[in-house]
Structure 1
Amino acid sequence: MCGTCGCGSEENGVTIQNPKDIKAHEHHHHDGHTHSHEHSHEGHTHSHDHSHTHDHDHSHTHDHHHKTVIDLEQDILQHNALMAARNKGYFEAKNIFALNLVSSPGSGKTSILEKTLSDLKDEKSFYVIEGDQQTLNDANRIDALNIPVIQINTGKGCHLESDMVYDAVKKLDIKENSILMIENVGNLVCPSMFDLGESKRVVIVSTTEGEDKPIKYPDMFHTSHICIINKIDLLPHLNINIDKLKEYALRVNPNLKFFEVSATTGEGMDAWYKWLKRKHELI
């Protein structure tokens, strides 16, 4: 268990799935009923619940509890860093430009990704890793664009880790000179601590979230390279000061680069595309 956020990949039922495999596993009955079984045989992951509870009352106290938690947290982050270095080496060897997309839930992260893929898929070779606690909803949206995608469901986990990404990358079989988009679990806290080996980290914040997100969640903005401000089409209806949002973000990270966009109308997306294509060509 992660001492920082209270979750851990080993005990929370992490699954890594290709949405095409799930669709192929659906059973169609003559009476018109359709159902699917969303357990992964390849990863030896089953969703059967064999939980039971023991009510043993151990009321003794361990004085070394806090030190144990800190040591465990350090071990987890160190292991993640080592695996992230492995990912980074792989990406660099194959000239893969990997982006880690992070945000709070509802910022429009998936919509920006969909719009980007739809507009650029004929120019660039894209692969996608989707991270959510449950469902294949986002992976299915990407699959509908005919983009190779793998869904990682983290169960109770609130972030992706570098070994999860490594396993997903092996399933994707990414070609050289490609762009890998990693959509992290919607959370502005724990993903900031877990390097995935990405080339750049992109934090997405929407106008509907208010202007103080960067100072409420400084670690995420401090560790990011790009800040996309989404839903600018809603500005006439909101009481938010975009300049103030940027000022707060620059207090945390003076090197942040901003893009103001609307995934709905397409406004501002060309500047984002120009940056993305230029960075990919430079790797």
Structure 2
Amino acid sequence: MHNIASIEIEQDIIRANDKLAYENRNILDEKGVFAVDLVGAVGSGKTSLLETLIDEMDEDIAVIAGDILSKFDAKRIEDKNVPVKGLNTGKECHLDAHLVEHALPDVPLDDVSILFIENVGNLICPADFNLGAHVRTVIISVTEGDDTAEKHPMIFKTADMAIVNKVDLAEAVGADADKMVKDIKTINPDIPVVKCSLKTGEGVQEIIDLYREFKNNKS
């Protein structure tokens, strides 16, 4: 009986979250803002990717930066002179649509074309929680091990694009970046996957082009 009750409660939470996510999407669409849910483990390079995109993309960008306790990532984005709203989740290991709903009024949506929502560093918990973004990107790095995608299939099943980061370090850490790409495509055959090194610039333009394609298709 306890297991059945737990499942029913979980389903209710997800349904309630999906309703709020739908409302978030409507707000973003009304403002003409394209939103990206950026998911990755701690150290995968989420914030570094955002810093690079802010420098390289000719777009008006804003960021919602999720973290469990600190606002370190938000400060890094703030130093780039773009609007950023830091969200602390406390004990929660993911953002949800309710948290994003409360953050949106603090983002100058009238002056923004792309909103990046940097999720909490985790590859498990965010999978079930739609935030209302138009695209979910999952970023993993070779330093996490080349079995990372195999160990976290659900997040890739819910993703629209994936990035394998730090490929310049693959040989040094004994990882096979091509295997990681293959594993992701096995889990989700339709997903575009980019091999990337933010240090060398490899893959950055391809990521930008994909976001522009997604954004244009939304319009």
Indicate the TM-score class for this superposition, using the shorter chain for normalisation. Answer: over 0.9
| 2:161 equivalent among 206, 209, 226 | 226
Q: Secondary structure at the match of 2:181?
A: helix
Cα distance between partner residues in 2 of 1:281 and 1:222:
23
1:68 Cα offset (Å): 2.2
How far apart in 1 are the matches of 2:212 and 2:135?
Answer: 13
Structure with greater helix share of residues: 2
Cα displacement string for residues 156-196 of structure 1 (whole angstroms, at most 9, x for unaligned residues): 00000001111111111312661000000011111000000
- In the TM superposition, what are the counterparts of 1:140-219 in structure 2 within 5 Å? 140-175=75-110, 178-219=113-154
Cα deviation for residue 241 of structure 1 reads 1.8
Contact conserved, 1:203 with 1:221, CA < 8 A, in 2?
yes
Matches within 5 A, 1:29-68: 64-68=1-5
Work out which of the residue numbers 4, 21, 24 in structure 2 matches 1:84: 21
Q: CA shift at 1:240, angstroms?
A: 1.7
Q: Structure 2: which amino acid aligns with 1:71?
A: E
Larger Cα-atom Rg: 1
C-alpha separation in 2, matches of 1:101 and 1:129: 10
- Asked if the contact 2:157/2:188 (under 8 Å) is kept, the reply is yes
C-alpha displacement of 1:93: 2.0
Give the Cα–Cα distance (whole angstroms) in 2 for the partners of residues 82 and 211 of structure 1.
Answer: 36
Distance 2:196 2:174 in 1: 17
| Residue 73 in structure 1 maps to residue 10 in structure 2 | yes
Aligned partner letter, 1:81: D
Q: Runs ≥4 in structure 1, deviation > 4 angstroms?
A: none
SS at match of 2:180: helix
How far off is 1:253 after superposition? 0.6
1:272 is displaced (CA, Å) by 1.1
Which of the residues 165, 171, 175 maps onto 1:236?
Answer: 171
Deviation at 1:91, TM superposition (A): 1.6
2:189 aligns with 254
Aligned to 1:273: 208
Is residue 98 of structure 1 aligned with residue 35 of structure 2? yes
Q: Secondary structure at the match of 1:244?
A: helix
Offset, 1:236: 3.2
Residue identity opposite 2:80 in structure 1: L
Q: 1:276 and 1:191 mapped to 2: Cα distance?
A: 21
Matched, 1:112 2:49: yes
Stretch moving more, 141-150 or 232-241: 232-241
Q: Deviations over 1:36-81 (max 9, x none)?
A: xxxxxxxxxxxxxxxxxxxxxxxxxxxx322222221111111000
Q: Secondary structure at the match of 1:145?
A: coil
CA distance in 1, matches of 2:216, 2:5: 46
| Amino acid of the structure 2 residue aligned with 1:124 | E
Q: Offset of 1:224 from its aligned partner?
A: 0.4
2:63 aligned partner: 128
Q: Secondary structure at the match of 1:229?
A: strand
Residue pair 1:96, 1:176 contacting (<8 A) in 2 also? no
Identity percentage of aligned residues = 38
State TM-score, norm by structure 2.
0.95
- Give the number of equivalent residue pairs: 218
- 2-structure distance, mates of 1:226, 1:278: 12
> Does the 8 Å contact 1:94/1:176 carry over to 2?
no
Q: Supply the AA of the counterpart residue of 1:103.
A: G
Q: Secondary structure at the match of 1:175?
A: helix
Matched-pair contact (CA < 8 Å) for 2:45–2:165: yes
Partners in 2 of 1:268 and 1:91 — Cα distance? 28
